[in-house]
Chains A and B, each alone.
Chain A
């Protein structure tokens, strides 16, 4: 292939590196106003009065909207309809929006927010997720504070534990994680003719924003157009919550009939936007003396915050991934997403899986220890292979690369030798090596079937360039480049001849969200569909030029040639010109619906996802036994993504994801006090920097997926998911300590060592 599998330069690299790429805050319109959101200062309170009179009197203030001023429905639809755009009589978390101000300058808007007088009647708040389900807890959602309960029932769990020679049971805790995208949330809303409105902004899911703006304004969908700007990072943090930002900007713009810009400050963004769900996980595993898994029983709780948002599907992905990539005959899982009076949690790279992977992989590593077996051998015994069934009973019929990733990563990292060598360390710093094996269901799966579709539009122009549009978005993950490669390969043109237009809801039909590592497979396939009729027209035209028949011709590089007689050929550019001269239609649409999935909610059984990506991570660390600091020396990560359409981008994802996973494992912590986030900036919310970056060794394994474009499965989230347990396993290996809570800060490592010393 000419372009697929080649590491062409990122399509947007130059404009981003040179600072030319326009982000939302760079947009300006004549007469534009600036919006600012007034937010709740209590975790749970009745709103007795919202007095905007003083604020309205301030010179330069054009509009203040509270829930009373919403013309349509006061609703941000995600899954369960419980979240208002603006609080209506009740606030449920600190930072919840109460009113939107539009003013001539950001400073005036901010001053006006301070002048809005809110009278609260404080209510008792529920902050501890473990107390949320209790009978005597304050009820903030339904009768039981449970947004969702998902389960798996496979085999006979009691019998499974009877067959076990050893049983290991532990409780794990995982923290919030903040997305820390470089660009904060932002939208610009612009009123248009005929009562229509355009929304420009930073987002993953334009069709979600379109729905919310339509609901809020009471406008039909055909009058709401959403255009994605260059998006400075997202990681799930721009999946559902931009609907709030877009709804707020749209409300002000609609009421003032002026363009309105709304850009969140970092502090506002951190206190009010979604995070990774904190998890509490009780994990019980049964195993034979030979190291065969007999049973896994898990109960876990996700602290979901004040509104349901995406929690139900985050939880669902959590249960599907909770047992890991292993053959387990008997499984029982119960998972709950519970309400608390804190910021609503949502999507974050991995989507409910990093929490359970930390627990599950730590179990595997500790079981290996108990058995005196090498953790790699324990994996070899239990990993899924073609012909096996997952914990949800799904038969795996092809594209199962876990074994290959295991051998590749451990081989490259020189596992056996390092393990031996590190065990001899005796100084004040000790080295260790640890491992995790993971899998990841690609796409929305059975939990999001109704959204599992995508559209694409391709047009070949008379100067032989190609433009195309899709409904999924570029957020830094490299989708533009990969899709441009696919279109160029398909149409026999060079990579530079192809250009992706910005994602815009008016260009292609609703294509669902850009999440779940689905864009390459979904938009890639839709583009291949869109190219088909154009290619047919080109073959027909080439046939005339070559005095042949279309079925005898084929694309070869940037030419079309006679199959039997390669010398008889014509350049693709000549064919395109001829097509235009003949008034052929050189534009086409493509549509792709994901392969089917299925789910039985009572048993938690079914074909959860149409394909799985697989990975093995090996982490090497050095632990300072006096300061308890951990230095990650290296991460060797082998990933099976079916086909690396752009290997350098795959490696980039592995490097970035490893670092984000390391942050989750070692340092990132959102601190709260009475429901208030007390570290809402990057001097106190600590993420890794370039100087903390270990050597990352990315390895690509390709087990093609037959329904994927060129065999590709999804890739993007996986690199983060298994890093934390590999790192903590390496720490355990170095200093013999058990870590069941993240992040593994020096203080927690010290505590764990003390507990060990006390024989607990």
Chain B
């Protein structure tokens, strides 16, 4: 493979990493699992010099921990770890579910949650669940730490609020309330090694009268920046979970996508399909058993 000339530094601790960043002249890329970075490097001119800081040895960043009501995920946690985590399966199942759909086994063994967020691809699979969980990222540098919601950290396709001397160290969010259910849907062109074309992350719960008392909805691959759809959530909150309501919520989501992105060649397909996926996500979260047959039989 043709790569530019590389100046490679590997560190074992965060302190070493901060030192390396401060000493480095010129641009520096942080390397975690390398599954996005390597592809980026291939696109560079062969005669450019590239500084690479490999943080993959910092063991401190490789754990998923419970901290009271909080779950804290180190930025070097791999997708395989996410997918297999009993903590996540219990308190934020949709994140484990999303991670299990990423790439292939090999990619999941290497790729990290921090890399997925920092790369900020519009179709990153952990992002819609994290947005639906109101997750926050911790950015650390020699000057200290700052905390930002994931939805604010990602500024646009492949753009983040990270400053060049900052390392993403931790992702944290509150455990979902007891009885809350979650679901993630990914639509791609095949079942493995598939880039998402549309995603839907839903978290929700009914109160004891059967009304929706908790709902967070974050579509992916369809908006310029990842975001919860507060408007659609408002349509749903305190309402009975009926098929008609879910259909409406889906249609409204699709409209918002068009308002935000305009009409593209793919819109004709994506509009009805996003609506259907949102409806299905809601059905999955709010119904004991989904029975597609109930709702509609004819394709729209």
Size of the A side of the interface (Cβ < 8 Å), in residues, is 29
What distance in Å separates the Cβ of B195 from its nearest Cβ neighbour in chain A?
Answer: 7
- Whether, in the assembled complex, A12 has its beta carbon less than 8 Å from a beta carbon of chain B, the answer is no
Question: What's the nearest-Cβ distance from chain A to residue B191, in Å?
Answer: 4
Specify the chain A residue showing the minimal Cβ separation from B275. A626
Q: With an 8 A cutoff between CB atoms, is A17 at the interface?
A: no
Could you say which residues of chain B place their CB within 8 Å of the CB of A428? 292-293, 295-297
A111 within 8 A of B: yes
- Residues from chain B with Cβ under 8 Å of A682 in the complex: 193
CA distance A354 to B277 in the complex (A): 35
Pair B299/A626 contact, Cβ less than 8 Å: yes
For residue A688, which residues in chain B have a CB less than 8 angstroms away from its CB?
A: 190
Query: Is A257 interfacial (CB-CB < 8 Å)?
Result: no
Complex CA–CA separation, A686 to B272 (angstroms): 23
- B53 vs chain A, min Cβ distance (A): 23
Q: Which of A111, A265, A427, A690 contacts B47 (CB 8 A)?
A: A111
Q: How far is the CB of A55 from chain B (nearest CB, A)?
A: 14
Chain B residues lying within 8 Å of A691, measured Cβ to Cβ, are 190-192
Proximity bits, B175-214, A CB within 8 Å = 1, else 0? 0000000000001011111010000000000000000000
Residues of chain B from 281 to 300 with CB closer than 8 A to chain A in the complex? 291-293, 295-300
Q: Answer yes or no: B41 CB below 8 A from chain A CBs.
A: no
B25 at the interface (CB under 8 A from A): no
Q: Is the CB of A626 within 8 A of B272?
A: yes
On chain B, the number of residues with a Cβ less than 8 Å from chain A's Cβ atoms is 27
Contact assessment for A667 and B189 in the assembled complex, using a CB-CB cutoff below 8 Å: yes
Are B187 and A627 neighbours in the complex by a CB distance under 8 Å? yes
Q: Would you give the shortest CB distance from A538 to chain B, in whole angstroms?
A: 52
Pick from B187, B192, B273, B295 the residue with the most CB of A within 10 Å: B273
Contact (Cβ within 8 A) A426 B297: yes
Task: Name the contact of A735 in the complex, choosing from B189, B276, B280, B299 (C-beta under 8 A).
Answer: B299
Q: Is A559 an interface residue (CB 8 A)?
A: no
> Within residues 527 to 570 of chain A, which ones have a CB less than 8 A from any CB in chain B?
none
Min C-beta distance of A622 to chain B, whole Å: 12
Binary B-proximity of A386-397 (CB < 8 A = 1, otherwise 0):
000000000000
Q: What's the A-B contact tally at a CB cutoff of 8 Å?
A: 65
Q: Mark B86-110, 1 if CB is under 8 A from A, else 0.
A: 0000000000000000001000000
Q: Are A750 and B269 in contact (CB under 8 A)?
A: yes
A110 touches B46 (CB 8 A): yes
Asked if B293 and A426 make an inter-chain contact with CB atoms under 8 angstroms apart, the answer reads yes
Inter-subunit contact B193/A689 (CB<8 Å) = yes
Known: A428-B295, A429-B292. A626 touches B190 (CB 8 A): no
- Whether the pair B195, A689 counts as a contact (CB closer than 8 A) is no
**Which residues, 27 to 61 on B, are CB-close (under 8 Å) to A?**
46-47
Among candidates B104, B193, B269, B297, residue contacting A427 with C-beta atoms closer than 8 Å: B297
Whether a CB of chain B sits under 8 angstroms from the CB of A253 is no
Q: Is A692 in the interface zone, CB < 8 Å from B? A: yes
- Taking CB atoms, residues of chain A closer than 8 Å to B296 are 428
Please encode chain A, from 647 to 686, with 1 for each CB lying within 8 Å of some chain B CB and 0 for all others. 0000000000000000000010000000000000011001
- In the bound complex, CA of A627 to CA of B193 (Å): 19
Contact status B190-A692, CB under 8 Å: yes
Asked whether A689 and B191 contact (CB < 8 A) given A110-B46, A626-B272, A626-B299, the answer is yes
User: Closest residue to A737 on the B side, CB-wise?
Assistant: B299
List A contacts of B268 (CB < 8 A). 747, 750
Tell me the minimal C-beta distance from A632 to chain B in angstroms. 11
B192 contacts A690, C-beta separation under 8 Å: yes
In the complex, which residues 119-162 of chain B have their Cβ closer than 8 Å to any Cβ of chain A?
none
Pairwise interchain contact B273-A626, C-beta atoms closer than 8 A: yes
Selected from B192, B299, B300, the residue in CB contact (under 8 A) with A689 is B192
Interface flag for A753 (CB, 8 Å):
yes
Asked if residues A746 and B299 are in contact (CB atoms below 8 Å), the reply is no
- Residue of B whose beta carbon sits closest to that of A667: B189
In the complex, how many angstroms separate the beta carbon of A116 from the nearest chain B beta carbon?
15
* A750 to B299 alpha-carbon distance, docked (Å): 9
With both chains docked as a complex, state the minimum distance between the C-beta of B78 and any C-beta of chain A, in angstroms: 19
Chain B residue numbers with a CB within 8 Å of A683 are 193, 195
Asked if A686 and B276 make an inter-chain contact with CB atoms under 8 angstroms apart, the answer reads no
**A5 interface residue (CB < 8 Å to B):** no
Given A107-B2, A667-B189, A753-B299, CB of A627 within 8 Å of CB of B273: yes
- The contact of A746 among B104, B269, B277, B300, by CB within 8 Å, is B269
Interface string of B216-251 (1 = CB under 8 A from A): 000000000000000000000000000000000000
B299 close to A110 (CB less than 8 A)? no
The complex places the Cα of A627 from the Cα of B293 at a distance, in Å, of: 15
Contacts of A110 in B (CB 8 A): 2, 46
Bound-state CA distance A268–B189 (Å) is 24
- Is B189 a contact partner of A107 (Cβ separation < 8 A)? no
Residue A41 is within 8 A (CB to CB) of chain B in the complex: no
Q: Residues of A contacting B269 with CB < 8 Å?
A: 628, 746-747, 750
Which of A106, A628, A692, A753 is close to B192, meaning CB atoms less than 8 Å apart? Answer: A692
Q: Does A467 contact B (CB under 8 A)?
A: no
Once bound together, how far apart are the Cα atoms of A578 and B192, in whole Å?
Answer: 59
| Contact code string A485-518 (vs B, CB < 8 Å = 1, else 0) | 0000000000000000000000000000000000
CB-based contact B46/A111 at 8 Å: yes
Interfacial chain B residues near A107, Cβ < 8 Å? 2, 46
- Give the residues in chain A near B276, CB-CB below 8 Å: 626-627
- Pick the contact of A686 from B104, B190, B277 — CB < 8 Å? B190
- Cα distance A625–B292 when bound, in Å? 11
Contacts of A111 in B (CB 8 A): 46-47
Q: Can you list, as one digit per residue, whether each of A625-642 has a CB less than 8 Å from chain B (1) or not (0)?
A: 111110000000000000
Q: Please give the distance in Å from B232's CB to the nearest CB on chain A.
A: 18
Interface positions of A from 686 to 700, Cβ below 8 Å from B: 686, 688-692
3-47 of chain B: CB within 8 A of chain A: 46-47
Contacts of B273 in A (CB 8 A): 626-628, 746
A625 to B295, CA, bound (A): 12
Q: How far is the CA of A746 from the CA of B198 in the complex (A)?
A: 13
Complex CA distance for A611 and B160, rounded to whole angstroms: 64
Give the Cβ gap from A36 to chain B, nearest Cβ, in Å.
Answer: 10
Which residues of chain A (5-43) have a CB below 8 Å from chain B? none
Residue ID in chain B nearest A690 by CB atoms: B192
Minimal beta-carbon separation of B115 from chain A (angstroms): 17
B residues less than 8 Å from A747 (CB atoms)? 268-269
How distant is the Cα of A683 from the Cα of B269 in the complex, in angstroms? 21
The docked-state distance in angstroms from the alpha carbon of A111 to that of B269 is 43
What mask results when residues 226 to 255 of chain A are scored 1 for a CB within 8 Å of chain B, else 0?
Answer: 000000000000000000000000000000
Rounded to whole angstroms, the CA-CA distance of A627 and B187 in the bound complex is 9
Q: Give the Cβ gap from B222 to chain A, nearest Cβ, in Å.
A: 14
A689 to B192 alpha-carbon distance, docked (Å): 6
Give the Cβ gap from A459 to chain B, nearest Cβ, in Å. 42
Q: Could you mark each residue 252-286 of chain B with 1 if its beta carbon is under 8 Å from any beta carbon of chain A, else 0?
A: 00000000000000001100110011001000000
CA of A627 to CA of B84 in the docked complex: distance in angstroms? Answer: 29
Cα A426 to Cα B292 in complex, Å, equals 9
Closest CB in chain B relative to A227 CB, distance in Å: 26
Give, as a whole number of angstroms, the nearest-CB distance from A290 to chain B.
35
Task: Tell me the complex Cα distance, A735–B298, Å.
Answer: 10
| Complex Cα gap A107–B297 (Å) | 58
Starting from the known contacts A427-B292, A429-B292, A747-B269, 16 additional A-B residue pairs (CB-CB under 8 Å) come to A106-B2, A107-B2, A107-B46, A111-B47, A427-B291, A428-B293, A627-B187, A629-B187, A667-B190, A683-B195, A686-B189, A686-B190, A689-B104, A691-B190, A691-B192, A750-B269
What are 24 sample pairs from A and B whose C-beta atoms fall under 8 A apart?
A107-B2, A107-B46, A111-B47, A426-B297, A427-B292, A427-B293, A428-B292, A428-B293, A428-B295, A428-B297, A429-B292, A626-B280, A626-B300, A629-B187, A683-B195, A688-B190, A689-B192, A691-B191, A691-B192, A692-B191, A692-B192, A747-B268, A747-B269, A750-B269
User: Interface residues, chain B, CB within 8 Å of chain A?
Assistant: 2, 46-47, 104, 187, 189-193, 195, 268-269, 272-273, 276-277, 280, 291-293, 295-300
Enumerate the 9 nearest inter-chain pairs by beta-carbon distance, A residue then B residue, closest first.
Answer: A428-B292, A691-B191, A626-B276, A427-B293, A691-B192, A689-B192, A625-B299, A427-B292, A686-B189
